[in-house]
Amino acid sequence: MKAFLQFIASMVIFGTIGLIIKQIHLNSIEIAMMSSLIGCLFLLIIYSIRRKKLNFIFLMKYKWLIVLSSIALGGNWVFLFQSYQFTSIANATLGYYFGPIIVLLLSPIVLREALRLKSVCSIIGSLIGLILILSNGFLQPGTDDVIGILISMLAGACYAILMLSNKFIKEGSRIDLTIFQLGMTSLMLLPLIFLTGGFEIQTQWSAIPLIVILGIVNTGIGFWLFFSGMEQLSGQSIALLSYIDPLVAIFISGLILREQFTMLQIIGGIILISATCFSEISFKKLKLRRKQGF
């Protein structure tokens, strides 16, 4: 039960990221760099309190994969944060959740996994859902929705690269891996901040508390609860509980921020999330559980 609650809490925390980002009027690169750095430092403090040590042998063994995944993590956050500037949290979240479908498309090439009929149906369903979500931008010329959703899809593509590269890292603690990735991401994004105009936070002191919350709560505590919970949950449970994240984001978008979306977008979102969820369900395992009385 503890692992179950930890994982759900992490999904709720991740689902509130858009709400915080909407209140921070800074460059998305700067936000991503500082939240990565604060999250990394927070997890290192947790390690220090619990008297744990980082496995640097593991780091050196998978150094190039960790570098690749860190670049993907940085791109993931920069594009996702930027997408919130153009469209609603709901649209950005739904565009971002096209990422798992990209993983399905690339799995036969990268992981040498066969593309099953269920996966093909999920991909087709996701494409239909995405077209309906994008329809509002095309039907209303001049809106930024299409740009925002396309940027969020780039974030989803980076998420796909992150997930696929992590598949090849078969050893070591996932929290160790996250600390390395967050640290490298902050270092990689630092030069980009200076190339895009330097630190804007110097003139926007009101953003500092929100950046700290984003780094400690949404990054540090979020990842800590995520990995602590998933260690004791089945893959099936993790896949299904992961959809709490977009549902919380959509709830915040509609009921708290009062962001508007059309009926076509609502239908498209339902189709997209359902198709992605369908790709994660193992019907053989469900039938086996029923037979066993679970």
* For the chain, domain boundaries: 2-292
CB-count burial class (<10 Å; 0-12, 13-18, 19+) for 273 = buried
Structure-block tokens of residue 246: 């977009």
Q: pLDDT at position 283, please?
A: 45
Q: pLDDT at position 287, please?
A: 43
Q: What percent of the chain has pLDDT over 90?
A: 23
Provide the 3-class DSSP secondary structure of residue 52. Answer: coil
Q: pLDDT at position 294, please?
A: 38
Give dist(CA 91, CA 77) in Å, integer: 16
Instruction: Flag whether pLDDT at 181 surpasses 80.
Output: yes
**10 Å Cβ neighbour count for 12?**
15
pTM score, whole prediction: 0.81
CB-count burial class (<10 Å; 0-12, 13-18, 19+) for 34 = buried
Instruction: Flag whether pLDDT at 80 surpasses 90.
Output: yes
Instruction: Flag whether pLDDT at 43 surpasses 70.
Output: yes
CB 44 within 8 Å of CB 215: no
Of 23, 131, 155, give the one whose Cα is nearest residue 83.
Answer: 155
The lowest-confidence range among 76-80, 169-173, 219-223, 238-242 is 238-242
Q: pLDDT at position 135, please?
A: 64
According to the per-residue pLDDT averaged within each range, which of 4-13, 138-147, 169-178 is highest? 4-13
Q: Which is higher by pLDDT, 200 or 25?
A: 25
Q: Which is higher by pLDDT, 287 or 253?
A: 253
Average pLDDT, the chain: 80
Q: pLDDT at position 249, please?
A: 83
Instruction: Flag whether pLDDT at 279 surpasses 70.
Output: no
